[in-house]
Structure 1
């Protein structure tokens, strides 16, 4: 189990390093309803990650077993290479859409309406950013393919999925707990983090896309 977990941890970190969800939860934690908004977003974020990686883990079970003589897994290899290429292409797209030097990146329009959102909408946004976001979906697909094909027992798969989800959710989980435990000190720290992430979003995501894409392509090539 530890070998499989180590293999998919980069995918979990790639999901965790998602500036937009972190910025969103920080804005929620700086709103008048900080506690409810933050916990609602965290719930949706964790649920989205768990559903995505679990779904791809289950789907991996329908892939034919590898050739017993050659040990190759051509179907898995093709899936991983395609996922890796898509991640690299997303990295290129992210880099080309980066703001000019000295300018702050433009944030989605819905972020300006956070203060007026209900808890249901907040949970839904957290879920969508985790499970529907292309980068996170590709990272979850790559991880699920590895977990589902590792030959682990039911208990080991469950623990791997739980630990994967916790690592992937950490960058949203930590700000929420900081804000709940030390609200007066958290405001200044979180505001600084939000500004830095907004300015460096494109560069961060470009690096994440390229590194994760290269890793997934490498795994795919090794399965031919």
Structure 2
């Protein structure tokens, strides 16, 4: 199980450092209905990550994944394809980043976050985790990695749980921190939101590039 968790770590970080969901939960925490919407969003985020990873774990389990020490050709080709897609997304993120002095553009739905209910926030969490192309590719890679480890059912479930917790940590920490120290969190949350809004494109481009290269390297390593 140890090698599988090691392979899952960069993928979990890739989901965790996604700027958009972090900005979304910060905006919810700065809105009037902070407690309900942020909790709903966190729950949707957890369900989306765990659900998508489990689905692709089951799908990948139908393929010949090889042994834990010798991944199959199918698993290696999947990693190569995912790595290539992540490199394409990294290039797109880098090209779309705001130029110096230019105001960054954010999704229009963010302007309506202060009117969200807990149910809408939960649905948004699921969408951003399980349907967003960048995060979905991470979950595909995670499910494929766990399936390729040929783990017993209990350890496979544990791997999904560890991946989900790590991937959701950057959304969970502000929610928990706000619940514990509401007044003290307002200033730091606003500062973090401003920084992420400005640098989200560069952050995601760098992250996708690194993880894409890692997946391509693992895919090539399994073919030679």
Q: TM-score, normalised by structure 1?
A: 0.96
Alignment of 1:187 onto 2:186: yes
1:171–1:72 Cα change, 3 Å: closer
Unaligned 5+ segments in structure 2 are none
Offset of residue 115 of structure 1: 1.4
The answer to whether the 8 A contact 1:4-1:147 is kept is: yes
User: Contact conserved, 2:104 with 2:198, CA < 8 A, in 1?
Assistant: yes
Change (3 A) 1:66 1:163: closer
Indicate conservation of the 8 Å contact 2:36/2:117, yes or no: no
Give the equivalent residue in structure 2 for 1:10. Answer: 10
Matches within 5 A, 1:114-193: 114-193=113-192
Deviates more, 1:75-84 or 1:90-99: 75-84
Equivalent-residue separation in structure 1 for 2:30 and 2:71 (angstroms): 52
Task: Measure how far apart 1:117 and its partner are.
Answer: 1.8
RMSD between aligned residues: 1.2
Q: Is the 8 A contact 1:103 1:199 kept in 2?
A: no
Displacement after TM superposition at 1:48 (Å): 0.5
* Cα distance between partner residues in 2 of 1:26 and 1:157: 32
Cα displacement (A) at 1:169? 0.1
**In structure 2, what is the Cα distance between the partners aligned to 1:27 and 1:66?**
45
Q: Which residue of 2 aligns with 1:203?
A: 202
* Alignment partner, residue 76 of structure 1: 75
Aligned to 1:36: 36
Deviation at 1:65, TM superposition (A): 4.7
* Per-residue CA distance 1:11-44 (angstroms, 9 max, x = gap): 0000000100000000000111111011000000
* Per-residue deviation, 1:72: 6.0
Equivalent residue of 1:201, what SS? helix
SS of equivalent to 1:223: helix
Q: Residues of 1 paired with 2:117 and 2:34: CA distance?
A: 12
The match for 2:55 is 55
Which residue in 1 is equivalent to 2:111?
Answer: 112
Equivalent residue number for residue 86 of structure 2: 87
User: How many matched pairs?
Assistant: 221
TM-score, with length taken from structure 2: 0.96
Confirm or deny: 8 A CA contact 2:86 2:211 kept in the other structure.
yes
List runs of 5+ in structure 1 lacking aligned partners.
Answer: none
Alpha-carbon offset, residue 164 of structure 1:
0.7
